[in-house]
């Protein structure tokens, strides 16, 4: 069998030459960026061929790669099927991402579903050979014990601690263990997973951990992962579920060792996630979410045994999954709306989580109406020619003046790409200095005097105009196509915003507050959001940042049965509006594409 050698890696990959290089690498746990999951679209799965031969370069590669890349041996791994021994270089590294773990939290009373109680169990004697079950039932005042509890727990006498989930006994521990009562709150995002270990006795958050969702190898966005399921009907559900469950188990391990506690003392895990991630977690078919009419398999809250899906904590650990509203208004948004207490607010409040999908919830005197806008991945740095996720080396802010271009780079490194907040800042600046017009087009270079400081910033690629963000070597550009992507994203979100207000018959000046939730929004200053017109000018001084409200909602549900009930009620009450089906939406969207309010 031929082999693939990888620079700086000892072991070679032996392969059967029938699949593309990307698949071969991913199967062998070699990380290659692949936002479109090998469809020959995004042009990000670059590798460099060092030795050996690959099939001739395809037209698609010629279109997606720069000339100098091609001449230095760069290829797109999803478009080449190797046939012989080759040596390649992997170009990307898994980079450190910044993940938001904190957020605003309202006051509430602690009444977790899990509680512990101490009992005295009478030791048997020769004269009184009472069974352990009977002694325990006596002490607890119950009729009989679940046989599985007998199976899973040691027979122990004297002082014991009973672990309860509501009224139900779920565990028996020797001695007084009332001080060791832990739980976890998890937010599963399409991109990142955040978990907190909580002392349920005090409500204290002991430690947090965050990782990139390992399902990303099956595609970066929800639809690509659902498509992976369509293409691999046999085992996709299991693979997607294993990936996330393994990640949770890994985080449990990390958190327990950080806080120096035993994983057997974690009794409940509460999860908030978008609707698709919740399906994947429970191993439930998510296909229907990906197609019109977008009806999911389930939206209700689930309260199950964590062990049933392979989570390794205690035998009795409960898993509570928060409820969703619809395919595109998931439990993460329900949790966020609850954390912001939208259902109890007087006046008009808007909650918005900006990402690949922008979800918006409008509360008018506590009545809730939601919609979801397909903003596309541009705001996360994808679909952008020099785009990347917010990781080390990404430009996160741009300032342009007659002194030149000032770049702020994550980790203060040499810039290698631009992330979502960076692309927004750049477009905002281009609009401000007049290089990009309100309709999104670059101005013509002829219109600038050669002495103008902006003259050298604009260059032509054939007839297409582009902005030089960073000069060669390592040239970074903002193309007209990039500006269009931002325009589409902004149009999608802004039109959702207006459509909701119109549906609820509310004027812009009647809005009291706009709450920005989520990982991405937290990195967007008001001047960018309003400067680009993702949000209307009128709300600039009404913005409040609420952080990772999804995880906060999971935490609150973990700490209170009452909260769980209220969240379930909130999910039922929340209305949902399908934008595509609403009257005159296309016109509204068209108007919202303009870079002016």
Partner 1 sequence: MSVSKEELIKRLSDGVVNMEEEDVIEVVNEYLEAGYPAFDAIMEGLVDGMNRASQLYEEEEYFVTDVLLCSDAMYEGLSVLRPHLPASEAEKVKPKGIIGVVEGDTHDIGKNLVKIMLETAGFDMVDLGRDVPLQSFVDKAKEENASFVCMSTLMTTTMGGMKTVVELLREAGIREQVKVVIGGGPISKKYADTIGADGYSPNAVEAVKLVKNLLDIA
Buried b or exposed e, range 246-259, using 16+ CB within 10 angstroms: ebbebbbebbbeee
What's the number of CA atoms in the CB half-sphere (13 Å) around residue 111? 8
* CA–CA dist 468, 337 (Å, integer): 41
Which residue's CB is nearer to partner 1, number 25 or number 394? 25
Q: Which of 224, 265, 364, 552 binds partner 1 (CB under 8 A)?
A: 224
Closest CB 80 distance from partner 1, rounded Å:
11
Beta bridge partners of 318: 268, 305
Looking at residue 313, the DSSP 8-state letter turns out to be S
Please give the structure tokens belonging to residue 84: 């012989």
Q: Which one of residues 146, 441, 475, 512 is an interface residue with partner 1 (CB under 8 A)?
A: 441
387 touches partner 1 by CB under 8 A: no
Taking alpha carbons only, the member of 552, 595, 442 closest to residue 205 is 552
The SS3 assignment for 319 reads strand
Among the listed residues 102, 239, 445, 484, the single contact to partner 1 using CB under 8 A: 484
| Residue placing its CB nearer to partner 1 in the complex, 182 or 442 | 442
465 binds partner 1 (CB under 8 A): yes
CB nearer to partner 1: pick between 224 and 241: 224
Q: Taking contact as CB under 8 A, which single stretch among the options 195-203, 337-345, 396-404, 476-484 is the one that binds partner 1?
A: 476-484
CB of 465 or CB of 523, closer to partner 1: 465
Q: What is the largest CA-CA distance in the chain?
A: 107
Residue 295 in the binding site for partner 1 (CB under 8 A): no
**CA 554 from centroid of its chain's CA atoms:** 15
- Of residues 79, 145, 247, 546, which one binds partner 1 by CB under 8 A? 79
Whose Cβ is closer to partner 1: residue 141's or residue 293's?
Answer: 293
Separation of CA 287 from chain center: 19
Q: Which token pair is 434?
A: 């007049």
Helices (H) and strands (E) in the chain, counts: 15, 26
464 touches partner 1 by CB under 8 A: yes
**Beta strands 318-321 and 302-305: pairing type?**
antiparallel
Span from 10-18, 177-185, 223-231, 401-409 in contact with partner 1 (CB under 8 A): 223-231
Q: Is the CB of 78 or the CB of 306 nearer to partner 1?
A: 78
- Contact call for residue 463 and partner 1 (CB under 8 A): yes
Among 72, 573, 590, 597, binds partner 1 (CB under 8 A): 590
Q: Is the dihedral of CA 584, 587, 589, 591 positive or negative?
A: negative
Strands 357-364 and 367-374: antiparallel
CA-to-CA separations, 312 to 74, 121, 540, 577, in angstroms, rounded:
43, 29, 46, 39
Q: Are 392 and 411 in contact, with CB atoms under 8 Å apart?
A: yes
Does 596 interact with partner 1 (rule: CB under 8 A)?
A: no
The C-alpha torsion from 589 through 592 and 594 to 597, rounded to 10°, is 170
Instruction: Tell me the closest approach of the beta carbon of residue 581 to partner 1, in angstroms.
Output: 8
Q: Does 56 bind partner 1 (CB under 8 A)?
A: no
User: Of the candidates 80, 163, 170, 226, which one interacts with partner 1 according to CB under 8 A?
Assistant: 226
Q: Which residues pair with 349 in a beta bridge?
A: 363, 513
State how far the Cα of 148 lies from the Cα of 145, in Å rounded to an integer: 8
Among 365, 439, 527, 583, binds partner 1 (CB under 8 A): 439
User: From CA 6, how far away is CA 12, in angstroms rounded?
Assistant: 7
Our finding on whether 62 is near partner 1 (CB under 8 A) is no
Nearer to partner 1, 132 or 498 (CB): 498
Of 110-118, 147-155, 238-246, 580-588: span binding partner 1 (CB under 8 A): 580-588
Check residue 580 for interaction with partner 1 (CB under 8 A).
Answer: yes
Closest distance of CB 29 from partner 1, Å: 24
Sheet holding 394-401, edge to edge: 404-409, 394-401, 417-418
Residue 593 lies near partner 1 (rule: CB under 8 A): yes
Smallest distance, Å, CB 489 to partner 1? 13
- Of 378 and 543, the one with the shorter C-beta distance to partner 1 is 378
Please answer whether residues 425 and 469 qualify as being in contact, where contact means their C-beta atoms are separated by less than 8 angstroms: no
- Our finding on whether 223 is near partner 1 (CB under 8 A) is yes
Closest to partner 1 by CB, 102 or 484:
484
The first and second tokens of residue 90, run together, are 């992997």
| CA 319 to the chain's CA centroid | 20
Could you give the CA distance from residue 428 to residue 443 in angstroms, rounded to a whole number? 15
Range in contact with partner 1 (rule: CB under 8 A) among 244-252, 284-292, 388-396, 530-538: 284-292
Outline where 84-167 has alpha helix (H). Answer: 132-140, 147-152
For residue 290, state whether it binds partner 1 (rule: CB under 8 A): yes
Residue among 101 and 487 whose Cβ is closer to partner 1: 487
Q: Specify the stretch interacting with partner 1 by CB under 8 A; choose among 207-215, 257-265, 287-295, 500-508.
A: 287-295
Cα Rg of the chain (Å, integer): 27
Site string (350-379) toward partner 1, x via CB under 8 A: ------------------------x-----
Based on CB atoms, which residue is closest to partner 1, 436 or 514? 436
Q: Which residues bind partner 1 (CB under 8 A)?
A: 36-37, 39-41, 58-60, 79, 219, 223-224, 226-227, 230, 287, 290-292, 374, 439-442, 463-465, 480-481, 484, 487, 580-581, 586, 589-590, 593
């Amino acid at each position: 069998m031929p082999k693939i050698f990888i620079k700086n890696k000892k072991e070679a990959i032996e392969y059967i030459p029938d699949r593309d290089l990307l698949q071969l690498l991913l199967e062998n746990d070699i990380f290659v960026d692949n936002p479109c999951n090998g469809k020959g679209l995004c042009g990000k799965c670059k590798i460099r061929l060092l030795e050996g031969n690959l099939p001739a370069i395809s037209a698609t590669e010629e279109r997606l790669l720069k000339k100098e890349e091609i001449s230095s041996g760069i290829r797109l791994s999803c478009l080449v099927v190797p046939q012989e021994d080759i040596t390649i270089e992997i170009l990307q590294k898994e980079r450190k991402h910044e993940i938001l773990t904190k957020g605003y939290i309202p006051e509430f009373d602690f009444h977790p579903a899990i509680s512990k109680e101490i009992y005295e169990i009478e030791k048997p004697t020769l004269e009184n050979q009472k069974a352990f079950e009977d002694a325990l039932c006596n002490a607890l005042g119950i009729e009989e014990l679940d046989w599985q509890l007998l199976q899973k727990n040691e027979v122990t006498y004297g002082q014991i601690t009973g672990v309860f989930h509501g009224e139900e006994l779920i565990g028996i521990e020797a001695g007084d263990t009332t001080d060791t009562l832990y739980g976890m709150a998890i937010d599963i995002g399409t991109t990142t997973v955040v978990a907190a270990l909580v002392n349920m006795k005090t409500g204290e958050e002991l430690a947090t951990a965050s990782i990139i969702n390992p399902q990303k190898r099956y595609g970066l966005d929800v639809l690509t992962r659902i498509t992976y399921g369509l293409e691999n009907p046999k085992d996709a559900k299991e693979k997607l579920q294993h990936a996330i469950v393994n990640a949770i188990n890994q985080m449990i391990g990390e958190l327990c060792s950080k806080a120096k506690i035993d994983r057997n003392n974690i009794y409940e895990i509460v999860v908030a996630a978008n609707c698709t991630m919740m399906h994947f977690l429970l191993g439930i078919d998510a296909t229907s979410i990906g197609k019109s009419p977008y009806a999911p398999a389930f939206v209700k809250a689930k309260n199950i045994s964590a062990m049933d899906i392979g989570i390794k904590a205690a035998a009795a650990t409960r898993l509570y999954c928060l409820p969703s509203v619809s395919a595109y208004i998931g439990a993460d948004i329900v949790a966020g709306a609850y954390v912001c207490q939208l259902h109890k607010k007087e006046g008009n409040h808007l909650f918005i989580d900006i990402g690949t999908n922008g979800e918006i919830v409008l509360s008018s005197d506590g009545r809730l109406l939601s919609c979801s806008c397909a903003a596309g991945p541009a705001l996360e740095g994808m679909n952008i020619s020099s785009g990347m996720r917010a990781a080390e080396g990404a430009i996160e802010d741009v300032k342009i003046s007659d002194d030149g271009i000032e770049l702020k780079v994550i980790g203060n490194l040499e810039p290698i790409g631009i992330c979502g907040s960076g692309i927004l800042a750049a477009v905002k600046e281009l609009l401000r200095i007049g290089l990009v017009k309100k309709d999104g087009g670059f101005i013509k270079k002829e219109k600038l005097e050669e002495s103008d400081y902006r003259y050298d910033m604009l260059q032509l690629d054939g007839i297409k105009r582009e902005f030089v963000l960073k000069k060669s070597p390592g040239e970074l550009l903002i193309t007209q196509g990039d500006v269009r992507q931002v325009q589409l994203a902004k149009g999608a979100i802004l039109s959702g915003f207006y459509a909701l207000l119109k549906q609820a018959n509310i004027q812009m000046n009647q809005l009291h507050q706009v709450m920005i939730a989520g990982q991405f929004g937290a990195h967007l200053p008001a001047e960018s959001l309003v400067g680009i017109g993702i949000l209307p000018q009128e709300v600039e001084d009404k913005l409040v940042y609420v952080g990772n409200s999804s995880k906060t909602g999971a935490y609150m549900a973990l700490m209170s049965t009452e909260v769980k009930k209220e969240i379930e009620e909130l999910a039922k009450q929340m209305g949902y509006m399908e934008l595509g089906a609403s009257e005159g939406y296309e016109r509204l969207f068209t108007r919202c594409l303009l870079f002016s309010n």
